[in-house]
Amino acid sequence: MADKKIMGIDLGGTTVKFAILTMNGEIQQKWSIQTNILDEGTHIVPDIVDSINHHLHLYGMKANDFIGIGMGTPGSVDRQQGTVVGAYNLNWKTSQPVKEQIEKGTGIAFTLDNDANVAALGERWQGAGDNESDVVFITLGTGVGGGIVMEDDLLHGIAGCAGEIGHITVDPDGFECTCGKKGCLETIASATGIVRVARQLSEEYAGPSVLKQRLDNGEELTSKDVFELAEEEDQFALMVVDHICFYLGLACGNIGNLLNPSTLILGGGVSAAGEFLRSKVANYFKQFTFPQVTESTKIKLAQLGNDAGIIGAASLALKLQN
């Protein structure tokens, strides 16, 4: 039992990542395949099964060597049934019997959860979360998402929407969001949101600024450009970053006031801005939390990068032990 393994799968719209881990969270093998979303995504699960069986053969391992397989997936997950529906970047419009197919194809017990939750589990277990009981993970990427672990449990909510940090309303009069409401954190702090904020604020900014110049010239800009120029002390870029960190700090502050986790972890592409971002968010977090929370809840950067998904997915499998 002690040397049984767990497998984690991170299913995405372009690649499927796999890893075999020890029960202590150490990655022993890692590989990936391309996601074939053709024919309504009907190849995806068979490809996963083939790839698992192929690699088990390659490593001289058997189904019996595993406690189980855990997977993170886009779309809406039915954890009891082991099905996924509405994963549009996989072309999965109808309900997919993922658990049934993978268990039948591999002979290994299988469980799954959504990708943001699984990444949160990973960062909490082996990353910035230090395996503490109460950890909130925020991904700042194309969108803003997240996952919440409290009292050692992943929170799901009645319709599976717990952790939808991107749709916290931070500015009731703010930008319209794709979700239909206004002023969601995602409209400001996602990669596209950051550029949107820069465009909006540039209309009122008068001083010299490379960022404003580029915007006025109609150049394509990324959130990375905004942060790089801010680090070079472009005054307008600094103003944009401050605006974003104000709202991120407000959202983090209110998560802190409500949940008081030991750690709030900032991950996703935008968090590549590193300590420059973290320290500014932490300053506003301090402004927006009451003293006991300010003192006990830390803001940290994610540590696992792309591996958070496979590690967190594998950790799901640990619960299949009993």
Stretch that binds its own copies, among 19-27, 96-104, 195-203, 294-302 (CB under 8 A): 294-302
- Judged by CB under 8 A, the residue of 4, 43, 55, 156 near its own copies is 156
d(CA 206, CA 225): 20
Q: Is 75 in the site for its own copies (CB under 8 A)?
A: no
- Judged by CB under 8 A, the residue of 83, 114, 297, 315 near its own copies is 297
Binding mask 246-285 for its own copies (x = CB under 8 A): ----x--xxx-xxxxxx-----------------------
d(CA 269, CA 286): 24
CA distances from 272 to 80, 222, 266 (A): 36, 13, 10
| CB of 211 or CB of 266, closer to its own copies | 266
**Nearest distance, CB of residue 76 and its own copies, angstroms:** 9
Q: Is 119 in the site for its own copies (CB under 8 A)?
A: no
Q: Is 58 in the site for its own copies (CB under 8 A)?
A: no
Could you please report the per-residue DSSP string of 131-158? Answer: T-S-EEEEEESSSEEEEEEETTEE---T
- Judged by CB under 8 A, the residue of 12, 13, 97, 160 near its own copies is 160
- Judged by CB under 8 A, the residue of 112, 168, 248, 281 near its own copies is 168
Q: Is 316 in the site for its own copies (CB under 8 A)?
A: no
| CB of 77 or CB of 211, closer to its own copies | 77
d(CA 168, CA 186): 8
CA distances from 52 to 41, 48, 84, 108, 225 (A): 18, 6, 20, 10, 40
* Residue whose token pair is 């803003």: 144
Beta partners for 21? 6, 27
- Judged by CB under 8 A, the residue of 30, 57, 93, 181 near its own copies is 181
Q: Is 287 in the site for its own copies (CB under 8 A)?
A: yes
- Residue 254 burial class via C-beta count within 10 angstroms: exposed 0-12, middle 13-18, buried 19 and up: middle
Other residues' Cβ atoms within 10 Å of the Cβ of residue 1: 6
First to last CA, the chain: 12
Stretch that binds its own copies, among 42-50, 127-135, 207-215, 310-318 (CB under 8 A): 127-135
d(CA 300, CA 242): 18
Q: Is 132 in the site for its own copies (CB under 8 A)?
A: yes
Binding-site size for its own copies (CB under 8 A) equals: 48
Name the residues that contact its own copies, by CB under 8 A.
132-134, 148, 150-151, 153-165, 167-169, 172, 177, 179-181, 184, 250, 253-255, 257-262, 287-293, 295-297
